[in-house]
Amino acid sequence: MMDWLDGFRFTHAITLVWNRSVGLDRARADLCDLMHRVDRKLISSTFYKVPSQYRTTALFCFEGQQHDHVHVHSLWKAPPGKWFALGKMFPRKRGGIWNDVVSSGSYDVEACSWHGGNAEITGYAMKQQHRFSDPALMVWADEFHPVR
């Protein structure tokens, strides 16, 4: 699975934290809002008309729901030529686009190697996932794209 994910050539690994009690439905809605805001800034105000393969790719893996500390480890691939602009949306541990969505939120960002070899990063993102994991705990960004 990690080799397959490494083939996506993700550009960023981002852990997103709510820092407050939140259910999975609310968390998914916040991720949907985040992805729409990111694509609006990176692509255009008509991002929703752009096919999924040209939008921001991301995989979110939920953790902490049993301890009331919901957070996601995520892997992101910016649209072509937009990797630096994506990184600038997450300037420190707080602030930026995530706090526009979740004011109490914080995050941590790591750059991924464009050439692959990100086993440590993909392993960390997938650490709570296994073949018996609840499918609702792994979300691809294209789930938030409109269906035509």
- Give residue limits of the domains in the chain: 2-144
Fold classification of 2-144 is Alpha-Beta Plaits (3.30.70)
- Rounded to two decimals, what is the model's pTM? 0.86
Task: Give me the pLDDT at residue 33, please.
Answer: 97
**Where are the extended beta strands (E) located within the chain?**
12-17, 57-63, 71-77, 106-111, 138-140
Q: pLDDT, tens digit, for every residue of 20-35?
A: 999 999 999 999 999 9
pLDDT at 69: 84
* CA nearest neighbour of 11 among 56, 73, 55: 56
Instruction: State the pLDDT at residue 123.
Output: 64
pLDDT given for residue 59 in this prediction: 93
* Residue ranges in the chain whose pLDDT is less than 50: none
